[in-house]
Amino acid sequence: MTENEFYVRFWGVRGSLPCPGTGYSEVGGNTPCLEIVCGGHVMVFDAGSGIVGLGHRLRDAACDALDLFFTHCHYDHICGLPFFSPLYCSATQVKMWSGHHLDGMTTEGMVRQFMAAPFFPVGPEAFCADVGYQDFKPGDNLKPNGAVSIQTTALNHPNGCVGYRIEYGGKAICYISDTEHEDGKTDRAICDLIAGADIVIYDSAYTMEEFENYRGFGHSTWQEGARLCDLAGAGQYVAFHHCPSHQDAFMSDLEERIAAVRPGSLIAREGLTLHP
């Protein structure tokens, strides 16, 4: 990694639950996990099942420090956490961040509650790494190190969710994982967050045709994502959080539809790496 390197790599792109099988082999069936690297600084966003493969790679690369940011703690975004290899390496520092909590729950409390009987056999005491926990509120500006700035905002999702704008070297990547839009309204908080960003990763779980059947589930459409990117003057749009029913053939057709509306747009695929 070089000092000026800035990229996002997708390790999990599916929403709701992992999807094994041949119908998901091209796009991927793991749930959300992004690796964003700024120079030599490793950041991980969400701990869905995709984090397992990332953890093995970071362990093999002897990564000794990283920050892990949660958008929220629905199972598809945290189910891989107990299987994240760096947490069991004594030479590694892992700082976990979250800001979506309701009723006073903390980041540490979230992890302890998740890894507790009768739902999991061991607690976070099993971690060997130097683990730290950091709480924030949506709207806060975070500084995981001196060169990286992260803006946050609240998203419209049951039980709370956080959107992130990661800025480094004059470039910006935005991660809007789970949010539900309202017909005829523009989410100004999202528009402000993604304004002029180089890459916008947006919750595109449904098509507009499907959306009527899923109101209240806390997700959006690829059409709304493209519209918001246009309004905000953002760069490349990446559709994310794919619905489990959308297999590879559907996703290939969907990517063509998105690119026809907004040229240069992509669907998120496991292994895809983008540089702003």
Q: Domains in the chain, start-ordered, CATH in brackets?
A: 6-274 (3.60.15.10)
pLDDT of residue 146: 84
**Token pair 């947006």 in the structure block, residue:** 202
> What 3-state class would DSSP assign to 125?
helix
Q: Which two tokens stand for residue 256?
A: 């063509």
Task: Give the whole-angstrom CA distance, residue 229 versus residue 154.
Answer: 18
Q: Count Cβ atoms below 10 Å from residue 29 Cβ, excluding itself.
A: 22
Task: Give the whole-angstrom CA distance, residue 234 versus residue 165.
Answer: 12
Comparing CA positions, the residue from 22, 23, 72 lying closest to residue 45 is: 72
pTM of full prediction above 0.85:
yes
pLDDT of residue 2: 63
Per-residue pLDDT tens listing for the chain (276 residues): 566 799 999 999 999 999 999 999 999 999 999 999 999 899 999 999 999 999 999 999 999 999 999 999 999 999 999 999 999 999 999 999 999 876 788 999 999 999 999 999 999 999 999 999 999 999 999 999 889 999 999 999 999 999 999 999 999 999 999 999 998 899 999 999 999 999 999 999 999 999 988 898 999 999 999 999 999 999 999 999 999 999 999 999 999 999 999 999 999 999 999 999
Comparing CA positions, the residue from 69, 54, 35, 17 lying closest to residue 241 is: 17
pLDDT of residue 158: 92
Give the H or E element holding residue 36: strand 33-38
pLDDT of residue 4: 79
pLDDT of residue 1: 53
